[in-house]
Amino acid sequence: MTINNAVEAFDAVDLIRQKRDSGILSTAQIDWLVDAFTRGYVGQEQMAAMAMAIFLNGMDRTEIRDLTHAMINSGERMSFEGLGKVTTDKHSTGGVGDKITLPLMPLVASFGVAVPQLSGRGLGHTGGTLDKLEAIPGWRADLEPEEMIRLLREVGGVICAAGADLAPADKKLYALRDITGTVDSIPLIASSIMSKKIAEGTASLVLDVKFGGGAFMRDFDRARELAQTMVDLGRDSGVNTTALLTRMDTPLGLAIGNANEVRESIEVLAGGGPADIVELTIALAKEMLALAGQPDADVEAALRDGRAMDTWRAFVAGQGGDPDAALPVANETHTVYAETAGVLTRQDALPFGIAAWRLGAGRARAQDPVQHAAGVDLHAKPGDTVQVGDPLFTLSADEPARFARALEAIDGAFEISADATGWTPPALIAEKIG
């Protein structure tokens, strides 16, 4: 047992009481709290109590900024000052079928802008970008800093795992929030996301903040508050930041899984793909390029003429993958067909995400493997007319025993209306902030 004889600047219990009673924590108090928690002086149970006090009483703008900076200062900060390129990045709060990073990064990088995209893995119904890309034979997520800089110069973009030294206090606090019912707190969510993005060192950032049934923030007003908080944090920290509020009631695109989402992303880069994926990819690309000093960039042309595809192939090869390799295909499939005719008016994102997870596309624990070929392929989207016997969706898995529980998740998750006169799907992009 190590005895710490150093005199501490504060007592954790005093700070907990202060926040419990709706008090405002000073910069010095927050700096000490995060540092003491990171080095183990403040215990798990004490930080859990503080997280609950923040969850119940919130934080003002200065407190959120101080918490974010304290978490950044707990580790290393990356710098791209010597890169010779303008940097820009994007972060999504996650959803079902959200593979936008895959076509977006090479599209933006094809304009000579550097895109250092640090991404994560999936847990539960929300897929992880790194899991999707690892469906490509040979592709690897872990890059040394020197390799990352080289690829940003030569290719223009990387998609890789964040290093362990990037905002380590956030990793420790996030694990605690997950088991104490304090995840759904705007100050804690905003500081968690933005501490990593600011520490990453990008000059500008576009946020895709989702709302709706398949999103982390279901309520639009709460999602808007989160978006505004993160935009403020970015700008207070010298990172030019904007946000798009986008709908996540229906899965994005037609593919939910890993290998099938890579296939769909390649379709977009080839000038095709589902309309909603194309719409959101183009909208985010225009925002990123505008912040990077190219407000008039013709991103649609870069999809048509093959520039974005060329960058994709160079990116895959640069991280050890084979852009021409066949992607995994599941051993078993099960297709569900329409039993009535009409217009598909509802397709709930969350149940389809859970179904893909149960098929093997996701993981229940961080250490679990994923089955890259597992997932769901949709054959119709809300607004489409279907006839009796038309395929609605296909489940894919390596073990057919997984189909029953996946079908349970989807039961009642879609609706075909015989009369949908005047009904149109709601807009995908609801608002821009910043």
The per-residue pLDDT for range 257-268, each reduced to its tens digit, is 999 999 999 999
End-to-end CA distance of the chain: 51
The residues, ordered by sequence, that sit 6+ positions from 150 with a Cβ below 8 Å of its Cβ are none
The pLDDT of residue 144: 92
- Which among 19, 69, 132, 196 is annotated as catalytic? 196
Does residue 292 contact residue 388 with C-beta atoms inside 8 Å? no
Q: Is the pLDDT of residue 358 over 90?
A: yes
List the one residue out of 239, 161, 163, 229 whose CA is nearest residue 192: 229
> Is 177 an annotated catalytic residue?
yes
Could you please state the CATH topology (level 3) that the domain comprising 88-162+199-318 is classified under.
Answer: Pyrimidine Nucleoside Phosphorylase; Chain A, domain 2 (3.40.1030)
CATH number corresponding to 12-58 = 1.20.970.10
The topology (CATH level 3) of 332-417 is Aldehyde Oxidoreductase; domain 3 (3.90.1170)
**243 and 427 Cβ atoms separated by less than 8 Å:** no
Decide if pLDDT at 4 tops 60.
Answer: no
**What is the pTM assigned to this prediction?**
0.93
pLDDT reading at 95 higher than 50: yes
Q: Which amino acid is at 59?
A: M
The pLDDT of 360-372, averaged and rounded, is 82
d(CA 347, CA 351): 9
Which of 91, 224, 358, 363 is flagged as catalytic? 91
Which of the following is catalytic: 99, 132, 177, 197? 177
150 annotated active-site: no
Query: Choosing from 192, 195, 204, 396, which is the catalytic residue?
Result: 192
Average per-residue pLDDT in the chain? 94
Active-site annotation holds for 165: no
> Is residue 237 annotated as part of the catalytic site, yes or no?
no
Active-site annotation holder among 31, 131, 170, 276: 170
Does residue 192 carry a catalytic annotation?
A: yes
> Could you tell me the residue ranges of all domains in the chain?
12-58, 88-162+199-318, 332-417
The sign of the CA dihedral 294, 296, 299, 302 is negative
* 176 band by pLDDT with thresholds 50, 70 and 90: confident
Mean pLDDT calculated for residue range 101-127: 89
Q: How far apart are CA 142 and CA 320, in angstroms?
A: 11
How confident is residue 5, by pLDDT bands cut at 50, 70 and 90? low
pLDDT of residue 124: 63
CB 359 within 8 A of CB 396: yes
Tell me which residue of 41, 70, 91, 63 sits closest to 169, measured CA to CA.
70
Average pLDDT over residues 242-255: 97
